[in-house]
Amino acid sequence: MTTSTEAIKAGRREWVGLAVLALPALLASLELTVTNLALPAIGEDLGASSTQLLWIVDIYAFLLSGSLITMGAWGDRIGRRRLLLIGATAYGLVSVVAAYAPDAASLIAARALMGVAGATLMPSTLSLATSMFADARQRAVAIGIIVASVSGGTAI
């Protein structure tokens, strides 16, 4: 009697799911750099000081990076999929609030909340992608796609 130790290969559903997971990873990392392009217009429209402009850019990255480990642990407790859905919803809602911020202080607060919400997206997408693929080779490709999404978002 022979036993097969080969992992089950992922099907179309897993690859489509991976494409869906890559999008929040891309968006969360895109927000790290895209604000720099709009900074002159933001400063003019909101009458922001140079210090406020600095905080508008930096607060997102500070809270995103500072919350990653905490949000990863929270995902282990409440479920990665649930955390991803909560984080994506919060990220979308706070993005709308940021888009309509009437002043620099409101925009800084909104971007701070976006950083925390963005921190829920990155560990959730990576861990969900890892758990979706049993085959080691396919899992490596899936992780590579998520990492490429994060890198691509930063590069854009």
Q: What's the rounded Cα separation, in Å, for the pair 22 and 140?
A: 14
The pair of structure tokens assigned to 134 is: 């049993």
- Please tell me the class of the 12-155 domain: mainly alpha
pLDDT at 11: 80
Look up residue 146 and give its DSSP letter: H
Q: What's the rounded Cα separation, in Å, for the pair 55 and 43?
A: 12
Residues 6 or more apart in contact with residue 151 via CB below 8 angstroms: 29
Give CA 112 to chain center in angstroms. Answer: 14
Task: Please report, for the chain, the start and end positions of each structural domain, with discontinuous segments joined by +.
Answer: 12-155
pLDDT at 1: 47
The pair of structure tokens assigned to 30 is: 């895109």
Residues 6 or more apart in contact with residue 128 via CB below 8 angstroms: 17, 21, 80, 81, 84
- What is the pLDDT tens value at each position of the chain, 156 positions in all? 444 556 688 788 889 999 999 999 899 889 988 999 999 999 999 999 999 999 999 999 999 999 999 999 999 999 999 999 999 999 999 999 999 999 999 999 999 999 999 999 989 998 999 888 888 898 999 999 999 998 888 887
Full-model pTM = 0.85
Give CA 141 to chain center in angstroms. Answer: 19
